[in-house]
Amino acid sequence: MDINPNISIYSQIAEMLRTDIISGRLIPGTKVESIRDLAVRLSVNPNTIKRVYQELQEESLFHSEGTGGTFVTNDKDFIARKRREFAEMKANQFRTTMQRLNLTPEDIRALIMGEDER
């Protein structure tokens, strides 16, 4: 991932890690990259990564085992619930936009399924 300097770096990295967890790219229960390694890889300040890890811990997506490192939560139901919430939020945003364009539910459905309406 490349950092986009036009958006808050903190929110970008938090969003990236959240997506990685709920999509299963970061496997539940596994150890996550150390703060410094991730900082070097993305070329960002370790303080920023540290704050992101703290936020994800508060959201219970990460848990810390002190000096043993930081781990992705093992609670698969919780991750599934988060994925559902995230997908619903995105779907709502999408639906609102489409309704503003005055599209019918059929049009929207066709768009999502990739069916050509012309």
Partner 1 sequence: MILFDDRIRKKYHPGKIIFQGADVSIESGLTYLLFGDNGSGKSTLLRILAQDESYIRFRFNDQPQPNFRYRPDQVSYMQSDLVFYRSMKVTDLFRFHRDLDRRFDAMYADDALTKFQIDRTAKIVSLSDGQRKLVNFILCMARRCDLYLIDEPFPNVDLKNIEKCVRMIIDRQSLETTFVIATHQIGEVETIADHILWIRHQDIINESADTLRDETARSVESNYRRDSPC
What's the closest the beta carbon of residue 36 comes to partner 1, in angstroms?
7
Q: Are 17 and 56 in contact (CB under 8 A)?
A: yes
To partner 1, the closest distance from the beta carbon of 42 in angstroms equals 8
d(CA 104, CA 112): 13
Q: Measured between alpha carbons, how far is 91 from 42 in angstroms, rounded to an integer?
A: 30
Q: How far is the CB of 62 from partner 1 (least distance, A)?
A: 19
Residue 15 CB, shortest distance to partner 1, in Å, is 13
At 111 the three-state DSSP class reads helix
Tell me how far apart the alpha carbons of residues 85 and 49 are, in angstroms, rounded to a whole number.
24
User: Where does this chain bind partner 1 (CB under 8 A)?
Assistant: 3, 5-11, 36, 39-40, 42-48
| Closer residue to partner 1 in complex, CB, 50/83 | 50
- Our CB check for partner 1 shows the closer of 9 and 98 to be 9
Give whole-number Cα distances, 35 to 13, 19, 47, 56, in Å: 12, 18, 9, 13
> Which is nearer to partner 1, 42 or 110 (by Cβ)?
42
Q: Which is nearer to partner 1, 45 or 97 (CB)?
A: 45
